[in-house]
Amino acid sequence: MNNRSDFCSDLILWIENNISERLFLDDIAVKSGYSKWHLQRLFKKSTGVSLGLFIKRKKLGFAYNDILTTKETITDIALNYGFESLQGFTRAFTRRYKRPPSDIRRKRVQE
């Protein structure tokens, strides 16, 4: 059990270090040495969330931070984290944080 925890911790660190890359489950599985299906089962059992959802939430979290701390456009931030369109990014961001990215940016500017 401890090995699974160590494996998932290492994988999470690798994901965070490569968060601006296009992270496909097939590529992560090859890197991990596990089949895609086994990797997803291990990850969910260890973290309680699917690998795909974890990556999406991480990307959105990093994007949220960038919206608050950089002057990059929201479109550039979305593209930096692998979202294919501003609309898709805004939809995912709003679902996650209950506010669109433009509101977060305005909040930063007002402070």
Where residue 94 sits, what CATH number does that domain have? 1.10.10.60
User: Residue 29 has which token pair?
Assistant: 């599985």
- Give tens-digit pLDDT for 48-58: 999 999 999 99
- Which residue range is the domain that position 63 belongs to? 2-110
- The Cα-based distances of 91 to 51, 52, 68, 88, 103 in angstroms read 20, 17, 18, 5, 13
Asked if 44 and 50 count as a contact pair (C-beta separation under 8 A), the reply is yes
pLDDT of residue 1: 40
Look-up of token digits 């998932």: 8
- Give tens-digit pLDDT for 69-100: 999 999 999 999 999 999 999 999 999 999 99
In the chain, how many domains are there? 1
- The dihedral through the CA atoms of 52, 83, 80, 25 has a sign that is positive
